[in-house]
Amino acid sequence: MLAMSQLSFFKHLDTSFPTNKQTADSRKLRGGYYTPLELAHFLIKWGLRDDTMRILEPSCGDGNFILALLQRLHDPVFQKSLLPTIVAVELDPNELGKAKARAEQFGKNGAAL
């Protein structure tokens, strides 16, 4: 019964946050699921406690988590630069290019992505 409720939750997530990143079929082929930006903002706000944390984004896609993270770091509560402690990885070169471009919007060179 628990597995069924988890499945329902993920189906609800998939339909609650619209995405135009790729078709569902192409995502399935890659095993990719793009986290909606609104959800990334919520998770970053909830999970990022201070600017001494180290962050690994093992499959950054087009950079929603990176974008949410950089936007959060503009909050005055964060005094130091966190960039040396952010590592983002993406195997798809097209998606990696998009993530780098999004990071560069904040004046960050995206070299660590």
List C-alpha distances in Å: 110 to 5, 64, 78.
39, 14, 20
What's at 15, amino acid-wise? T
Domains in the chain with CATH codes: 34-104 (3.40.50.150)
pTM of the model: 0.62
Residue pLDDT tens, the chain, 113 long: 445 455 555 555 555 555 545 555 655 556 667 889 999 999 988 888 776 778 888 988 889 998 898 888 777 766 665 555 788 899 889 989 998 888 887 765 554 55
| CA-only gyration radius of the chain, Å | 15
Tokens found for residue 94: 């097209």
Residue with the two structure tokens 């192409």: 26
